[in-house]
Every structure is written in structure tokens, then in C-alpha cells.
Amino acid sequence: TEFRSASMSDWHPLKKEMIICTRFGNTTQLHYVKMPGGDRQQITFYEDNVGGATFEPIKGDYFIFSKDNGGNEFGQLYRYDMRTKKVTMLTDGKKSQNGGIEWSNQGNLIAYTTTKRNGKDRDIHLMDPLHPENETDLCQNEGGGWGIVEWSPDDKQMLISESVSANESKLYQVDMTNGSKTLLLPLA
């Protein structure tokens, strides 16, 4: 019942190199590929599955990845420094689900979804991955179907979605200065 699989995770922003997710045995781990047809080098070695990775989009000095602990499904976000190989946990490490990362266009902030507030509602938080202690809550939401679509080109607004059901979803514009949401679709 075990099989090998590999999937693309992210391209380095400046080099022709990539991170891939590869499963050998029981868990998926991150591997680095430095050239087309090149050998993959494993860079994470955890007992638990590692989720996808996303490079810091300007220089590629580090990337962010997700991982839970012991299969508890409380995915936490981590920063992996390419030079030092040091891994730093960015989120609270408690019973919260964190993910859905989207980088700002300036490349200095991530927006991500988290259930940190109450364990069920998926809020949108902002964080500089080099200074996670300054994380902010952009907007609080009700329900678990929220996700980040994209930042505006000037990083002053954000498009987020709410999946209500398999047949219904909503699209909102968020003002980055105060977190207020404006329903865009469906039209009233």
C-alpha cells in the first residue's frame, strides 16, 4: 500500500531550482532540485508529513512550509533558512490549523488562514516571517471555508473567498488598513 509520489512545490525566484514534495515510505518530505534532471536532495526529515513550501519571492533566502505533529491535523507554519538550514516555527504550535499562504507583492509579508482565535473559525492573519512576533489579525470570519485569493498590486487590498457549500461561494475585498470586508460576488 506504500508508493512513491512527487509533486512540484515552488520555484526559486532567482535560480532555476525548485522544491518538490516527495514521498518515500510513510511520509512526504521536501527535496531540493538544483537543475533539470538533477538529483533531488532531501531537506526535511520529519516523522510527520510536510506540506508544500513557498519561497520568499524576492531573494529566495528562505521558504515557508507547513507540518502537523503526530497526525493531529493542527498544521503549523515553519520558516526554513536556505543558508543555515535552520527551521523556525512561525505559528503558535497549539491546537490551531494554519495554512493557505499568500505573499504580498513586496514580498515582505504573508497572509494566511488560522483557527487560532477559537479553534473553528478561519481568520486571516498577516505576518513578516522574519519577525513572527509582530503577527496581526487582519479580519475575523465566521466558519471554516475562508481562503485568500490574492493581494492587490499595491498591497492595499486583498481578495478573499468564503466557500459556503459545494454550490455556493462568496468573494470579498478586504481593506488592508482596517480589515473591513466588502462583498463583491454574488451581487445582491
pLDDT of residue 151: 98
For residues 11-31, average pLDDT: 91
Residue 102: Cβ within 10 Å count: 19
Distance (Å, whole) CA 117 – CA 24: 35
Binned at pLDDT 50, 70 and 90, residue 21 comes out as: very high
Which amino acid makes up residue 147? G
In this model, does residue 49 exceed pLDDT 60?
yes
Distance CA 26, CA 49 (A): 8
- The Cα 175–Cα 155 span in angstroms is 10
- In the block, cell 466558519 appears at 143
Determine how many CB atoms are found less than 10 A away from the CB of residue 185.
Answer: 10
pLDDT of residue 11: 96
Element containing residue 79 per DSSP (H, E): strand 76-81
What is the percent of the chain where pLDDT is above 90?
76
Q: Is the pTM of this model over 0.95?
A: no
**Alpha-carbon distance 68 to 48, whole Å?**
7
Strand order in the sheet with 131-139: 98-103, 110-114, 123-128, 131-139
Burial 128-156 (b: 16+ CB within 10 A, else e): ebeebeebeebbebeeebbbbeebeeebe
89/98 Cα distance (integer angstroms): 12
**Which 3 state secondary structure label does DSSP give 9?**
strand
Q: What is the DSSP letter of 25?
A: T
In this predicted structure, what is the pLDDT of residue 188?
57
Q: To the nearest whole percent, how much of the chain has pLDDT over 70?
A: 97
Mean per-residue pLDDT of the chain: 92
